[in-house]
């Protein structure tokens, strides 16, 4: 009887603990995978690109010294502020994703946020590392407005940053600067 009771309590504790822990999704980003590699000598160069509405954009160029190869990515950093402190979340866009992201955000700027539809609409670009950039229609009783968002980690809403739709122009500009900077250093 004691064994059965012990097993039930243990099973209950394990299942409760498993529900509380949210697992970070595995990244498909080449830059993140290279950074996770063991047994290699890596050189990391960081280049500041800019900041918009509390979101920081920074390039990273990773050189695998032993293999003589380079890869680059844009790091996007968001922060969550609470009474307990600040949590920082970083997501990446590989160099080969930047052109597609720029094209998607330009489409959103030119075709989506220029209209006010009757129904709720959202549009999103998602990267290999789980970073989401997009727009959604925010409705109040008085008006409907477009909001832009960036979420650096798909497993937590704390990594989200919301901003005015006008900021999309600055974000596209920073993405273009990032692509030019990476092109010059790779």
Which pLDDT tens digit goes with each residue over 103-123?
999 999 999 999 999 899 999
Confidence of residue 20 (pLDDT cuts 50, 70, 90): very low
Q: Is the pLDDT of residue 11 over 60?
A: no
Q: What does the pLDDT average to over 55-72? A: 94
* Domain residue ranges in the chain: 25-185
Kindly state the percentage of the chain with pLDDT values over 90: 64
Per residue in 142-181, pLDDT (tens digit) is: 889 999 999 999 898 899 999 999 999 999 999 999 999 9
Q: Is the pLDDT of residue 30 over 60?
A: yes
Q: Is the pLDDT of residue 47 over 50?
A: yes
Confidence of residue 12 (pLDDT cuts 50, 70, 90): low
CA-based R_g, the chain, Å: 21
Cα dist from 68 to 47, 90, 109, whole Å: 20, 26, 39
As given in the structure block, the two tokens for residue 138 are: 């925010």
CATH 1.10.357 fits 25-185, yes or no: no
pTM: 0.81
CB atoms within 10 A of CB 135: 21
CA angle at residue 143 from 125 to 164, to 5 degrees?
40
Residue 68 pairs in a beta bridge with none
């Amino acid at each position: 009887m004691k064994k059965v009771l012990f097993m039930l309590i243990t099973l209950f504790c394990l299942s409760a603990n498993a529900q509380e822990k949210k697992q970070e999704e595995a990244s498909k980003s080449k830059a993140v995978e290279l950074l996770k590699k063991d047994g290699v000598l890596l050189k990391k160069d960081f280049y500041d690109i800019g900041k918009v509405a509390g979101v920081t954009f920074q390039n990273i160029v990773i050189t695998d010294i032993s293999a003589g190869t380079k890869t680059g990515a844009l790091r996007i950093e968001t922060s969550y502020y609470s009474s307990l402190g600040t949590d920082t979340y970083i997501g990446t866009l590989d160099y080969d994703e930047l052109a597609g992201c720029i094209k998607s955000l330009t489409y959103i700027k030119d075709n989506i946020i220029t209209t006010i539809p009757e129904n709720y609409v959202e549009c999103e670009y998602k990267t290999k590392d789980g970073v989401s950039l997009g727009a959604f229609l925010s409705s109040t009783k008085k008006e409907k407005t477009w909001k832009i968002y960036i979420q650096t980690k798909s497993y937590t809403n704390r990594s989200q940053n919301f901003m005015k739709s006008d900021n999309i122009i600055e974000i596209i500009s920073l993405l273009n600067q990032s692509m030019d900077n990476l092109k010059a250093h790779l």
